[in-house]
Amino acid sequence: MAVIKSKEVHMSEHFTYDEPVHSHHLDLAKQKLNTKERSLYFLTIGMSLLILLVSHLIIKQSVPSLPQNQANLVQARIEKIVNTEQSESGLAGEKPNLKINFTATLLTGERQGERIVGYQSIDFSNPSDSLTQVKSGDRVLLFSPKQSANPASANKLSPFVFVEYDRHTKLIWLFAVFAIALLAFGHLKGLNTLLSLVLTVLMIFLVFIPSILAAYNVYLMTLLTCLYGTLISFLLVIGYNAKAYAATIGCLAGVSLSGLLAIICNYWLKISGLTGDEAITLANLPLPNKINLPALIFAMVLIGALGAVMDVAMDISSALAQVKLQAPNLKRHEIFKIGLDIGRDLISTLSNTLIMAYIGTSLLTVLVLSGTGMSWNFFINRESFAVDILNAIIGTLAILFTIPLTAFVCAWLYNSPKAKLK
């Protein structure tokens, strides 16, 4: 009995000594892993900002100088509505035109804090005029006229003119609500999502748009912009693992195939790119090299569909990663088949989302053309309508292409012994 008791004591001493050592090694391994992940995280952000800065500086040198709009706009707050004048529009049955005279306090500009007089002109026959009348307390943008040589008579000779409502402050608050909701629900994932969104938007405005004005290849710059946005989003939100790699490859492959189809359809449908006033303005810009308007249609299709394509690629990649973790013995063809089944469940909702979004943006155009009694034969052959249909169909096809491509990439990557699925 003494011998047995001695052995029990010896064994208990052995286990009480070995377990803390084993736990200590696990803690060290986790700390090293967390340190590596943090390093990669900040490296990704740093490289993203560096790419943005360097690309912007390089492209900015090639952007030609364009004549600047010298309109002198100032922000103001409406203090009092003085009176409202009516005048005949000259068209039978039309509402009389309005001129709303007001006093306002300037909030910006050289005359900041000064009380001035101004007016808002509403021409009901001109669709570009704002039909919402100003009232006391509104923040607005006013056109500031040239100052008279006699400052005392400046207001009387040159009243300020209403241009538009000042909405930027409210838009900032709206974005703040969006950001807070994203952070409250997503926590760290929400922060990474917000960060990747900001970086992608900066890429579009600081690099992609200047590159078009600088006559860079629109097709190439569109693909590079999609690559940047996809990599940043997946690496920041998911991390450096097989899920992110599979989703990125599947997403870019699907977008590239749909982009190739968009180019073919542009030639097939004889798309010129002159789909509205903005396109005509771009075509008439005094640039050394004219902007490739059909290529802009290609860019609109790909960038517009990128979010939905990233969504389906990530859904399939994450779902198959969980399946592989639960059933590690699955073969490649089995993983691929499961991915297709998941994709079929996603097709209807994502396709409806994309097509309904394009229909929603074109709703006013459809109503105007329908209300004017225009022939439907002429309407469906309009280039602007063809471009809207092209955007919806190519965007949906991008989703369809992405599903099998992502499932195929997952089937190969996840069966690798070195695949990191978490």
pLDDT digits (tens, 9 = 90+) for 8-64: 444 444 434 444 444 544 454 445 557 777 888 899 999 999 999 999 999 999 888
Q: What share of the chain is helix, strand, coil (3-state, %, to 5)?
A: 65, 10, 25
What is the number of other CB atoms lying within 10 angstroms of the CB of residue 359? 13
Statement: residue 339 has pLDDT above 90:
yes
- Please tell me the least confidently modeled range out of 98-102, 206-210, 222-226: 98-102
Residue 227's alpha-carbon distances to 136, 200, 300, 303, 340, in angstroms, are 48, 10, 15, 11, 24
**How far is residue 212's CA from residue 287's CA, in Å, rounded to a whole number?**
11
Statement: residue 220 has pLDDT above 60:
yes
Residue 179 is assigned to a structural domain of this protein: yes
- Segment 367-377 shows an average pLDDT of 73
Residue 275 is assigned to a structural domain of this protein: yes
Whether 389 and 335 map to the same domain: the answer is yes
3-state secondary structure 230-280: HHHHHHHHCCCCHHHHHHHHHHHHHHHHHHHHHHHHHHHCCCCCCCCHHHH
Of 389, 356, 395, whose CA–CA distance to 254 is shortest? 395
Of 94, 151, 100, whose CA–CA distance to 124 is shortest? 94
- Name the amino acid, one letter, at 357: A
Whether 301 and 212 map to the same domain: the answer is yes
Q: What is the CA 337 to chain-centroid distance, rounded?
A: 32
Statement: residue 108 has pLDDT above 60:
yes
Local structure of residue 416 (DSSP, 8 states):
S
Domain count, the chain: 2
Residue 2 is assigned to a structural domain of this protein: no
Residue 343 is assigned to a structural domain of this protein: yes
Whether 328 and 193 map to the same domain: the answer is yes
- Domain with 115 in it: what CATH number? 2.40.50
**What band does 65 get if pLDDT is binned at 50, 70 and 90?**
confident
Whether 188 and 158 map to the same domain: the answer is no
Whether 232 and 141 map to the same domain: the answer is no
Whether 121 and 207 map to the same domain: the answer is no
Whether 144 and 112 map to the same domain: the answer is yes
Please give the residue range of the domain that contains residue 215.
Answer: 173-414
Percentage of residues of the chain with pLDDT beyond 70: 83
Whether 399 and 271 map to the same domain: the answer is yes
**What band does 72 get if pLDDT is binned at 50, 70 and 90?**
confident
pLDDT digits (tens, 9 = 90+) for 33-44: 577 778 888 999
Statement: residue 228 has pLDDT above 90:
yes
- Segment 150-174 shows an average pLDDT of 77
- Name the amino acid, one letter, at 366: V
Whether 158 and 266 map to the same domain: the answer is no
Residue 340's alpha-carbon distances to 319, 325, 404, in angstroms, are 11, 18, 6
Task: Read off the tokens for 80.
Answer: 């009092």
- With contact defined as beta carbons under 8 Å apart, do 82 and 232 qualify? no
Domain boundary among 165, 185, 204: 165
Statement: residue 221 has pLDDT above 80:
yes
Non-local (6+) Cβ contacts of 144 within 8 A are: 72, 73, 74, 109, 111, 160
**How far is residue 82's CA from residue 202's CA, in Å, rounded to a whole number?**
44
Statement: residue 216 has pLDDT above 80:
yes
Of 121, 338, 339, 369, whose CA–CA distance to 250 is shortest? 339
